[in-house]
Structure 1
Amino acid sequence: MPKKKTKLEMFEYIYSKEIKTGSWITKDEMAENGFFPKNNTNGRDIRFIKRKYDLEIITVGTREARFRIVGTKAMLLRRPISKKIKDFFTNKRCVLTGTRSSIEVDHKNGRYNDKRVLSTKTQTVNDFQPLTKVANNIKREHCRKCAATNKKFDAKELGYLVSTLDGNLVHNNKSSGCEGCFFYDVTGFKEDYNTVLSTCFGTNNPFTEEGFHEYYKKLSKRNSSGP
């Protein structure tokens, strides 16, 4: 006699496409598929999904109306940071707030899709940045949204004149895809942003986004090729 599927296994079977693509799932749809009583909106408990997956949830009032999956809880177990790197960031200031309280060592790559960075043998200090717990939670939320939409955080929301350094708001799902985003490297973003503005623009050369991105790419190419 075949083994009966658990509730989670049934969910993963029915919504395999939505799990893979990060598409929205509504509780009304789940009710139609027999996961909850159709007419009882208060009894639609998805804790069995939350135990395994990280979710982005849209609420209507106090009710969780729809959600999508942005990762698995198990991913947290595969993000080790070497003691040497942790020690390096001890007493460092948060690159976002400038404070030293509740500092966490943050993976710059919020997708965690670079095998080199996920190994304590090959990761380097430059793969991380110090953030306060609150700042790290804010960044993590933006990374989750990016993972679900492939759209990076828009730095114009913080008053910058460009959305990203390289002009590319779309994440390419590669390990290099986070580069250029404000939250990927807060210190690097600020330094490169100020360098381009002070070097490329002035009274006789008014600012344009196109000109900014063009100069930034030249600057990056120069820096990567070395002296």
Structure 2
Amino acid sequence: MTKKTKIQLFLELAVPDEQGFSRWVDSAEFSGKYKELKLGNGGSWCRASSQLARQYIVEFDKTRTLGNSIDAIRLAGFNRKKSFNQNIRQDIKNYYKSQKCVMLGINGCSENTKIEIDHKNGRKDDNRVSNIATQKLEDFQPLCKAANDVKRQICKSCKETNKRWDARNILGNPYSFYEGDENYTQELGCIGCYQYDPVQYRKSCVKRISDEVSKYSARFILNKLYPEK
């Protein structure tokens, strides 16, 4: 007997009608046969980028208990909007799956250290990348799950505020961006943000610091990397 997917299990619980509307399904129901539906970091099977959300309008109730956890989920009709295809071409997956996380330098077997292939553009609004036939290796990067979860939240905040993440949040990073500034623009998009490409950020830092070394003292450079308090 073929094992049911998480989406199939949820639909079995929710029982949407012909218009795609369902009852509220309380998270307490995710037990026994449906225990795989238990919500972890954001509920990967029901988040905005999931297959479920591409098919249905998914609504969450976070008011039943204290905190910000998802207490109940329901479907509010079919999603008629054209959605971004998150599928990644197999040769790209094969290329990155054995590499180490470009942020944390690990590739492990535990839940948080296993490698995920990340769409570098966290907004996922590029039609070329949505088409597996036109995807390029440089559209993606290997991140461990822990780093990818954090990046996802940072990209979400940027999308809401149009303010990009400052790389100097990490002690020792000398520059905020390798191109552009904190303001998100259509021209640059995500390019220039550490989260978009930490490898390119580091390469840019080496060049810029090398240029500055010829002009300033070692103390100046050290203070740039580790500001005195």
Q: In 2, distance between residues paired with 1:135 and 1:118? A: 22
Checking the alignment, whether the CA contact within 8 Å between 2:88 and 2:132 is kept in structure 1 is yes
Give 2:181's match in structure 1, choosing from 158, 165, 168.
168
Answer 1 or 2: which has greater helix percent. Answer: 1
Task: Count residues in correspondence.
Answer: 152
1:155 to 167, 192, 196: 167
Match of 2:103 in 1: 96
Native 8 Å contact 1:150 1:170 kept in 2: yes
Q: CA RMSD in A?
A: 3.5
Aligned to 2:7: none
- SS of the aligned residue for 2:97 comes to coil
Structure 1 CA distance, aligned partners of 2:59 and 2:124?
14
1:137 to 138, 144, 149: 149
Q: How does 1:47-196 map to 2 (within 5 A)?
A: 52=57, 62-64=66-68, 78-101=85-108, 102-159=114-171, 160-172=173-185, 174=186, 176-196=188-208
Is the 1:114–1:175 contact (alpha carbons within 8 Å) kept by the matching residues of 2?
no
With normalisation by structure 2, the TM-score equals 0.57
- Seen in structure 2, the aligned counterparts of structure 1 residues 98 and 75 have a Cα distance that, compared at 3 Å, is farther
Amino acid at match of 1:123: Q
TM-score, structure 1 normalization: 0.57
- State how far apart, in whole Å, the 1-side matches of 2:83 and 2:150 are: 17
**Identity over the aligned pairs, expressed in percent?**
31
User: d(CA) in 1 for partners of 2:184 and 2:59?
Assistant: 20
Q: Which runs of 5+ in 2 are unaligned?
A: 1-20, 24-46, 69-78, 109-113, 222-229
- Give the secondary-structure state (helix, strand or coil) at the position aligned to 2:103: coil
Runs of 4+ in 1 over 4 A off after TM superposition: 74-77
